[in-house]
Structure 1
Amino acid sequence: MVAVIGGLLVSAQPALAATPVVDDGAAAPPTARGEGWQPDIQKPDPVTLPGTTKKITPFAKPLSPQQPEALPGATKGPGATLKADGAARSAVRKADRPAFRGAAPQADPDDPPTGLYCTEAITRNASVSGAPNQTNYAANISYLAEFGCNFWLDAAYIATGVIDRGRFDGQFLYTTAPRTYGPTYYGATSGGLSIPGELFDGGRNVEIAFELYLLAPVGVYWGGCFSIPGLRYLLCEGLGTNLLHIVLGTGSFGTGLQPPVIRHVALGDSYSSGTGAPPYSDELCRRAPATYSNLITGTVLSGLPVDRPTLAACHGGKIIDLYVGQHPGLPPQLDAIQPHTRLVTLTIGGNDLDFSLKLTGCYLGADCAAGGPLVTQQKLDQVRVQLTALYRQIRAEMHPSGKLMVLSYPAVVPNPDDPADPPPAQDRCPNLGSNLVESERRAIYEATAQTDRMIRDAVLATGDSRVVYVNGLDLFRGHRLCSTNGVWANGLTSPLSDSFHPNAPGYQAMATRLAQVLPPF
């Protein structure tokens, strides 16, 4: 969860409009909820600088690094320096520069501070909690920003913020409520935040910005914005007047979070677990390194690489197995989805139609086409409704910008009506020809096509553009069983459970198709 880290705040300060405020007065960043953390720093109402009519809105002007600057003849100092001579200088009320609570700024050895000046310091700390691919993985940042002068200002205004300096360069991730002072020579503000590493693509590199309006006494004016070791100027305006507006930054620094990736979960049945392409890393679920979900690792989408998947798919999986454990000790497949999961790949529904059993039965038994279609429309309609509900459930549990890629099943048995599929011959896969006659091969292809249409219709029924149908029906065309151009699937094998599943080239073809159609995030 995002949390504000307590800090040192001296004197009362106004709250950011319409923004939660914690006990120390610092505005709290949005909470990291299951739908993902998206920083949304609201602009506060303008604050009036004491003793003036000037209304100030924090960080209202564009910020960019700039070199220190000064008017001709300005006396150098360790920051902002007044240009005052004679009677004007003697009229300025001197002050002992206070001790900074953090790391006190130091002037360059060859540039001792002289004259009237104010200087600033930012003390920061960054640490990482949790581990990548876990919901508690976060960068924790805290800081203290201070200014001190060797004379009394008539008024001052300060605010701080954390700026993303990576993927969303310039976006504020957090701001404190502004603080205003009457006559003063010191001020400070502090704050911090926790950046959820798996819920936000930025935050790997950030910068702390410190904004100040410093009102000098009437009759004197600001002469220079001189360098401060460890800080850089993002803004300096008002030289030649008695109101100086500056923004100082720490420069970009790493928070310790790893570069962002697209977290990927692979769900479903044997066509996603990798059945048919041993060796298996998990014999019970027949999970294979050769499965298509592993092969798209590293694919770059919207500038982010796809991570190696959490492979939860299991041989024999049915729709119900995504909600409950398929085997003793095996958690429901949906448990693998986290709020930071941006990609889910899935094949499911075939076992709910008993398609694998029917295909094997056709091969080993009598003519299975004689009794009519292998799957009924009533059963197809029933499974389609279940699939639509499942797709919606998956989308509800993953990252809001993520994509659910639903693959349909490739036809592995030759289609007798497709010239790209040569029929079985006596000198080429005779067993297939003798065990699956033409009418059976036609019935098997039609059942596969019906399943493909059912999956497509279930995807469309979600009404969610983030659920994407991937047509696999004719993916193996020209490479089905009996092909002379390389076969991408197994026939009848031992063990029997590997039969009529993709082999390693088949899973590679599925990975290639998936990588081609993956949409941007």
Structure 2
Amino acid sequence: MTSRGAVSPGRQRRLLAMVAVIGGLLVSAQPALAATPPVDDGAAALPAARGAGWQPDIQAPDPVTLPGTTKKVTPFATPLTPQQPKALPGASKGPGATLKADSSARAAIRTVDMPTFRGTSPQADPDDPPTGLYCTEAITRNSSVSGTPNQTNYAANISYLAEFGCNFWLNAAYIATGVIDRGRFDGQFLYTTAPLTYGQTYYGATSGGVSIPGELFDGGRTVEIAFELYLLAPAGVYWGGCFPIPGLRYLLCEGLGTNLLHIVLGTGPFGTGLQSPVIRHVALGDSYSSGTGAPPYSDASCRRSPATYANLITGTVLSGLPVDRPTLAACHGARIPDLYASQQSGLPPQLDAIQPHTRLVTLTIGGNDLGFSAKLTGCYLGADCSASGPLVTPQELYQVQAQLTTLYRQIRAEMHPGGKLMVLSYPAVVPNPDDPADPQPTQDRCPDLGSNLVESERRAIYEATVQTDRMIRDAVLATGDSRVVYVNGLDLFRGHRLCSTNGVWANGLTSPLSDSFHPNASGYQAMATRVAQVLPPL
């Protein structure tokens, strides 16, 4: 690897992982393949709890006693439901909460001019002008979006100022504010401020703000700011009504007919500007993930095709969210080291495509490390390749399996902790001579395949594919991580391999040579269908 300046902690971990694998292989002399317990056809993974992402900032203060009472209060302890304004019969009107008092009680109350609000000034409804003693509220808010979608810095930024003011002196007050999700997690608080307690007062205010990371949290697209108040009126009077306040709505109004009013006001739902949440997907690996064999290609050197299975699962709904179009980093000819380092000039390491919010990674890798493609082409063009022993040796399988396990763990360490790594094994494209579902070549059908790959060679190729499948499966199991999921591709093309009379899902020897023995568009569609079928919940 050439130096590229400062090395990030993630890349340092990758380098250490790579050195550890290579160093272990140099001193290893164990040829045996790990044990292979039975695995169902599909995803071999246990259910796992949803991983951590962004966590709401919720204050949890101890209860406090409201001055002048024995009432212990904590913020937002009462369920909130939008409700209509309400009032007792004969209550005076006003833009907010009004008192009901006879003339003698009213004379004993200390009145003041309504204070000037620092933010948005409350407006009285011209059809309901204030006629008595009242308290009103206002919430001034700002919201913006920063960063770029599919980047960690993408966020909604919300700030606000909540105020109350009265035209008389209260005996005490208690206020708190918060931001509530009004979308995917309707009713969940995303942020709360520490509450404030007042003695005698006629004005109070609190401010707050929260930054909601759009890629680490699926909520926060629509929110509401809530303003909770306990207002203690002087003795001998009581609260008569919760009247409309322009721009706000009631989420709670209780205590009418007493001198302690408990209300929660909300702004109503508003959009934060964040795009709808999706499952971010990165596709890594070799030609079986880039789309080799199904031209045209969007990238000629890596042979990346719109027809690859990774593109075709776009829109699949997973845990209620659609899978996004992938960041397609897979490249034709890739080997395991190419995920850690640059495969060719100007091409970054494939692992660089993973971000902390990546929740789905799909992968095929390991075949080129075994030299499988070159061996298969050699069988077709050269002498009988079954005469010199197995196409892949136990030592080769052992070494690549160890590297795969390390790679899988590295990918999981760099993606979202609750995400899934879907590891596909390779479909067998050459007909299995021992499987009646696979028509064998004859003089009238596939004569070239029959003359270039005799039965013993086809059997050797299929056996090597089986061994590769087991190697990948065992490498997944060796991670001990239920979020690394093995997807069985071995027999996916059964009945549709080369020479099939029911539609062939792979290329034989073709031009360009690099497209040979790879899935065609139908094959990639079959791979996409399999992956979509076994995608587990996040």
TM range (shorter): over 0.9
- The answer to whether the 8 A contact 1:35-1:339 is kept is no
Amino acid at match of 1:364: L
Q: Deviations over 1:370-425 (max 9, x none)?
A: 11111111111111111111111111111122111100000000000000111101
Q: Deviations over 1:279-326 (max 9, x none)?
A: 000001000011000011111112111110000000000111110010
Amino acid at match of 2:300: E
The reply on whether 1:175 has 2:198 as its aligned counterpart is no
Find the counterpart in structure 2 of residue 38 from structure 1: 55
Amino acid at match of 2:467: Q
Amino acid at match of 1:167: R
The whole-number CA distance in structure 2 between the counterparts of 1:280 and 1:97 is 70
Deviates most, 49-58 or 147-156: 49-58
Q: Deviations over 1:106-159 (max 9, x none)?
A: 111111111100000001111111121111111110101000000000110000
Amino acid at match of 1:375: V
Find the counterpart in structure 2 of residue 382 from structure 1: 399
Find the counterpart in structure 2 of residue 326 from structure 1: 343
The residue correspondences of 1:308-457 to structure 2 (distance < 5 A) are 308-457=325-474
Find the counterpart in structure 2 of residue 22 from structure 1: none
Amino acid at match of 1:485: N
Deviation of 1:54 (Å): 2.0
Deviation of 1:520 (Å): 1.6
- The answer to whether the 8 A contact 2:59-2:193 is kept is no
The residue correspondences of 1:60-209 to structure 2 (distance < 5 A) are 60-209=77-226
The reply on whether 1:500 has 2:524 as its aligned counterpart is no
Find the counterpart in structure 2 of residue 215 from structure 1: 232
The whole-number CA distance in structure 1 between the counterparts of 2:60 and 2:306 is 50
Find the counterpart in structure 2 of residue 5 from structure 1: none
The reply on whether 1:247 has 2:248 as its aligned counterpart is no
Amino acid at match of 1:201: D
Query: In the superposition, relative to structure 1, how do residues 35 and 174 fare at CA in structure 2: closer, same or farther (>3 Å)?
Result: same
Find the counterpart in structure 2 of residue 237 from structure 1: 254
Find the counterpart in structure 1 of residue 321 from structure 2: 304
The whole-number CA distance in structure 2 between the counterparts of 1:42 and 1:74 is 36
The whole-number CA distance in structure 1 between the counterparts of 2:305 and 2:127 is 67
Find the counterpart in structure 1 of residue 3 from structure 2: none
Amino acid at match of 2:377: T
Deviation of 1:52 (Å): 2.6
Deviation of 1:177 (Å): 0.4
Find the counterpart in structure 2 of residue 271 from structure 1: 288
Give the unaligned 5+ runs of structure 1: 1-33
Amino acid at match of 2:444: D
The whole-number CA distance in structure 1 between the counterparts of 2:169 and 2:237 is 12
- The answer to whether the 8 A contact 1:35-1:398 is kept is no
The whole-number CA distance in structure 1 between the counterparts of 2:479 and 2:262 is 54
Amino acid at match of 2:349: P
- The answer to whether the 8 A contact 1:222-1:239 is kept is yes
Deviation of 1:53 (Å): 2.8
Q: Deviations over 1:251-272 (max 9, x none)?
A: 1100000110111000000000
User: What SS does the corresponding residue of 2:369 show, helix, strand or coil?
Assistant: helix
User: What SS does the corresponding residue of 1:476 show, helix, strand or coil?
Assistant: coil
User: What SS does the corresponding residue of 1:167 show, helix, strand or coil?
Assistant: coil
Amino acid at match of 1:419: P
User: What SS does the corresponding residue of 1:448 show, helix, strand or coil?
Assistant: helix
Find the counterpart in structure 2 of residue 14 from structure 1: none
The whole-number CA distance in structure 2 between the counterparts of 1:100 and 1:289 is 58
Amino acid at match of 1:159: A
The reply on whether 1:280 has 2:309 as its aligned counterpart is no
The reply on whether 1:256 has 2:283 as its aligned counterpart is no
The whole-number CA distance in structure 2 between the counterparts of 1:170 and 1:380 is 53
TM-score normalised to structure 2 length? 0.90
Deviation of 1:48 (Å): 2.2
The whole-number CA distance in structure 1 between the counterparts of 2:152 and 2:181 is 21
* Identical-pair percentage: 88
Find the counterpart in structure 2 of residue 481 from structure 1: 498
The whole-number CA distance in structure 2 between the counterparts of 1:40 and 1:177 is 11
User: What SS does the corresponding residue of 2:469 show, helix, strand or coil?
Assistant: helix
Give the unaligned 5+ runs of structure 2: 1-50
How many residues align? The count is: 488
- The answer to whether the 8 A contact 1:429-1:482 is kept is yes
- The answer to whether the 8 A contact 2:57-2:192 is kept is no
Find the counterpart in structure 1 of residue 4 from structure 2: none
Deviation of 1:42 (Å): 4.5
Amino acid at match of 1:325: S
Say which structure, 1 or 2, has more relative contact order (CA 8 Å, 6+ apart). Answer: 2
Find the counterpart in structure 2 of residue 515 from structure 1: 532
The residue correspondences of 1:287-298 to structure 2 (distance < 5 A) are 287-298=304-315
User: What SS does the corresponding residue of 2:359 show, helix, strand or coil?
Assistant: strand
Q: Deviations over 1:149-182 (max 9, x none)?
A: 0000011000000001111111111001000111
Deviation of 1:40 (Å): 5.3
The whole-number CA distance in structure 2 between the counterparts of 1:518 and 1:298 is 13
TM-score normalised to structure 1 length? 0.93
Residue in structure 1 matching 2:480, options 463, 466, 480: 463
User: What SS does the corresponding residue of 1:351 show, helix, strand or coil?
Assistant: coil
The whole-number CA distance in structure 1 between the counterparts of 2:223 and 2:473 is 44
Query: In the superposition, relative to structure 1, how do residues 188 and 40 fare at CA in structure 2: closer, same or farther (>3 Å)?
Result: closer
Find the counterpart in structure 1 of residue 67 from structure 2: 50
User: What SS does the corresponding residue of 2:120 show, helix, strand or coil?
Assistant: coil
Q: Deviations over 1:422-459 (max 9, x none)?
A: 11011111111011010000000000000001111111
The whole-number CA distance in structure 2 between the counterparts of 1:41 and 1:468 is 35
Deviation of 1:35 (Å): 6.0
- The answer to whether the 8 A contact 2:58-2:193 is kept is no
Deviation of 1:39 (Å): 1.7
The whole-number CA distance in structure 1 between the counterparts of 2:225 and 2:400 is 54
Query: In the superposition, relative to structure 1, how do residues 339 and 279 fare at CA in structure 2: closer, same or farther (>3 Å)?
Result: same
- The answer to whether the 8 A contact 1:237-1:246 is kept is yes
Find the counterpart in structure 2 of residue 11 from structure 1: none
Aligned CA RMSD, in angstroms, stands at: 1.0
Q: Deviations over 1:490-514 (max 9, x none)?
A: 0111111111000111101101111
